[in-house]
């Protein structure tokens, strides 16, 4: 009788061990599938983020370039006979703006051809930084918009990605002023605070930045750029008239 119970007990224990082994294998398979699914989701997210980044770059480059060329072409056409020298300056602005856009488009194509894998945020836009705001402003001034730049606080070293973000926000905000605001003047403020860089662009226009039917990529792109750095963004009419775009980019140690 004892050996019968022993056989029964051994069989029960073997069955339990087998079931445990099977459950462990199923759990491992589930974990492997979950890891594979997570990796696939991560890869898809990286591709989506890179597409959004390139879309923002293309929008900013083309919107700015086409706007400046359109304004300068109109000015040149009107002044071709009465003031050939001024018309020539307009053509010079068109040429410089076009060459700059071609350089940036070549850089984007190089990024698209890069097979190294994940994008490097710190090298996302190595061409322009805050030091390029002054020549950018001169281009808008040549297009007929009076722009004043104010630096507040002590300038400090920032990552190339943060510099590019600040530059692009100034560029897009001024492009919107030139295209839509009906403004004659704009103010650009770069405020270096202990915890953040604040970029503000305001104008003396009619308080609109884009017609409602055309609002979209410009403001959305600026908001997305600020969000990449954990920053805040606002774009709204000012109480005293005009419109203001404001972005706050926290310093890395504050994020």
CATH of domain 41-254: 3.30.565.10
For the chain, what are the domain ranges?
41-254
**For 29-62, what is each residue's pLDDT tens digit?**
667 666 666 666 666 655 566 566 666 667 667 7
**For 133-185, what is each residue's pLDDT tens digit?**
999 998 888 888 899 999 999 998 888 888 989 998 999 899 888 877 678 89
CA 105-41-125 angle, to 5 degrees, is 25
Asked whether residue 10 carries a pLDDT value surpassing 90, the answer given is no
Cα separations in angstroms, 20 against 15, 23, 119, 205, 211: 8, 5, 44, 74, 66
Smallest Cα–Cα separation from 164: which of 99, 104, 109?
A: 104
Q: Is 199 helix (H, G, I), strand (E, B) or coil?
A: strand
pTM above 0.85, yes or no: no
């Amino acid at each position: 009788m004892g050996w019968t119970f022993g056989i029964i007990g051994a069989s029960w224990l073997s069955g339990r061990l087998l079931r445990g082994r099977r459950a462990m294998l199923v759990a491992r398979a589930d974990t492997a599938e979950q890891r594979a699914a997570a990796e696939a989701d991560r890869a898809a997210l990286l591709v989506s983020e890179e597409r959004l980044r390139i879309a923002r770059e293309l929008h900013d480059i083309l919107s700015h370039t086409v706007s400046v060329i359109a304004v300068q072409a109109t000015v040149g056409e009107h002044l071709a006979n009465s003031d050939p020298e001024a018309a020539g300056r307009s053509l010079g602005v068109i040429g410089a703006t076009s060459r700059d856009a071609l350089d940036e488009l070549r850089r984007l194509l190089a990024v698209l051809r890069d097979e190294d894998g994940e994008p490097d945020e710190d090298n996302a836009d190595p061409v322009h930084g805050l030091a390029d705001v002054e020549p950018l402003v001169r281009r808008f001034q040549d297009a007929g918009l009076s722009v004043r730049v104010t630096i507040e606080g002590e300038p400090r070293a920032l990552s190339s990605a943060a510099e590019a973000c600040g530059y692009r926000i100034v560029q897009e905000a001024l492009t919107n002023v030139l295209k839509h605001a009906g403004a004659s003047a704009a103010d650009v403020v770069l405020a270096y605070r202990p915890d953040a860089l604040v970029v503000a662009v305001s104008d003396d226009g009619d308080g609109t930045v884009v017609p409602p039917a055309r609002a979209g990529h410009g403001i959305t792109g600026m908001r997305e750029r600020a969000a990449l750095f954990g920053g805040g963004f606002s774009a709204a009419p000012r109480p005293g008239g005009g419109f203001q775009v404001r972005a706050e980019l926290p310093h890395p140690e504050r994020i």
